[in-house]
Structure 1
Amino acid sequence: MRVAYTEQLSDLTGELAAMCGLAEVAMQRATQALLQADLALAEQVIGENDRIDDMRLQCEEKAFALLALQSPVAGDLRIVVSGIHIVADVERMGQLALHVAKIARRRHPAHVLPEDVRGYFAEMGKVAVTQAARTREVLLSRDLDEAAALETGDEPMDDLHKHLFSVMMDSDWPHGVAAAVDMTLLGRFYERYADHAVEVARRVVFLVTGKLPEPGTPELTGVTPTGV
């Protein structure tokens, strides 16, 4: 009985990591669709978003079943409760990638991005995908040092977002209001994607230690996991 229960907990973690992998691929493809005005890639991201939604429902059902039927305590309870929070963050990452793809599709066959800001979004996409990959690894490894690094890993995204905003607010911005609106929305989508990856890292710290770190905690090395 205990073996089956342990396997269910492990399956929940594995499904959360797999769901994060789908969100990672979705943002990678959405960014390519945005940079290349690739309608087929945008449609692929939009069409496959249901897979993330389906996995969210599966993870939630599994977590609530564990709560109802197994009455987990201590460390096991943290796994289940953290899973419920994590699934919401990862699902939102998938939705944000979906929003990027929809903007690429809406503007097709035109390029959404003016040439002088394309580099910003190429880099923001790279940071977002890297964050998602690290999030997936942290979910599986529960490595506190890596979770701490991930929590501050969105700083490059914040810097890029600020620089992008300063470019758009320049009085010499030549691309008009519609382009500025698209850039503002897209910048926000990438920033929030990274924020949700950070939140997952914080939940992993709670899962291991029983304590949620304060936002922006610079160092978690030496935090001792609580007993199970």
Structure 2
Amino acid sequence: MRVIYNEQMADLASLLGEMAGLAGSAMDRATQALLQADLAAAESVIGEYDRIEDMIADAEERAFALLALQAPVAGDLRQVVSAIQIVQDVNRMVALALHVAKVARRRHPNHALPEAVNGYFAEMGRIAVHMGEGAREVLENRDPERAAQLNEDDEAMDDLHRHLFTLLMDREWKHGVAAAVDVTLLGRYYERFADHAVEIGRRVIFLVTGVLPPDPDSEA
């Protein structure tokens, strides 16, 4: 039974890592759609969503089956509960990439963003993709040091988000209310994507060490 449990947990960890990688890839293409008014890129993200959702449902089912059938305790229970929570974080990351793609599609053939903020979103997209890849790495390797680095990446994302908000509040903003609403929502999508990657890192640290790091948002 122990061998079976270990194999099932390894398979689940691999699936979670694959899904985190797909979330990063989806945000990469969604950002391309946003910055280049690329309808094909937006549609590829939207079209892939159902497949990833099926993978998420499969991962959740596997985790609950382990909880119900293996009756884990102590460290094993920590692994299973953390896996269930990580599934939800990956789910939100995928959904946030989908939201970005839908904004790009809705504004097509026009660009969703004023040119003045393109640089912000190019960098926020780069950080988000990097964090998605980082989440994949820590899920597969369970490296607590790499997991902790996700919080540093998130600080860069938060800085960009604050600067973006300052720009929106500037009296020099001349791009209208609709553009301001889109920029506000999109900025929030990227910020939340990064937050969920950080949460995955916290869960992996908890898996390895048994100690859950403080929530950085609660300390702010």
Instruction: Report the TM-score when normalising by structure 2.
Output: 0.96
Pairing of 1:20-169 with structure 2 (within 5 A): 20-169=20-169
> Partners of 1:151 and 1:171 in 2: how far apart?
33
Size of the aligned set, in residue pairs, is 217
Matched, 1:9 2:4: no
- Percent identity over the alignment is 67
C-alpha displacement of 1:152: 2.5
C-alpha displacement of 1:216: 3.1
> Partners of 1:72 and 1:159 in 2: how far apart?
41
Structure 1 counterpart of 2:85, which letter? Answer: H
Distance 1:216 1:152, change over 3 A: farther
**Secondary structure at 1:155's aligned position in 2?**
helix
Task: Please tell me whether the aligned partners of residues 151 and 198 of structure 1 are also in contact (alpha carbons under 8 angstroms).
Answer: yes
Runs of 4+ in structure 1 off by over 6 angstroms are none
> Partners of 2:149 and 2:41 in 1: how far apart?
31
**Secondary structure at 2:174's aligned position in 1?**
coil
Structure 2 counterpart of 1:32, which letter? Answer: Q
Structure 2 counterpart of 1:12, which letter? Answer: L
> Partners of 1:74 and 1:153 in 2: how far apart?
31
Structure 1 counterpart of 2:208, which letter? Answer: V
> Partners of 2:212 and 2:103 in 1: how far apart?
35
Q: Which residue of 2 aligns with 1:178?
A: 178
Instruction: Report the TM-score when normalising by structure 1.
Output: 0.93
Deviations 1:109-140 (A, max 9, x none): 00011111101000000000000101110111
Task: Please tell me whether the aligned partners of residues 26 and 97 of structure 1 are also in contact (alpha carbons under 8 angstroms).
Answer: yes
C-alpha displacement of 1:153: 1.8
Q: Alpha carbon RMSD of aligned pairs, Å?
A: 1.1
117-126 vs 208-217, greater mean Cα deviation: 208-217
Structure 1 counterpart of 2:26, which letter? Answer: A
Q: Which runs of 5+ in 2 are unaligned?
A: none
> Partners of 2:60 and 2:127 in 1: how far apart?
28
> Partners of 1:72 and 1:171 in 2: how far apart?
58
Structure 2 counterpart of 1:79, which letter? Answer: Q
Q: Which runs of 5+ in 1 are unaligned?
A: 218-228
Task: Please tell me whether the aligned partners of residues 75 and 208 of structure 1 are also in contact (alpha carbons under 8 angstroms).
Answer: no
Structure 1 counterpart of 2:82, which letter? Answer: S
| More helix per residue | 2
> Partners of 2:147 and 2:21 in 1: how far apart?
17
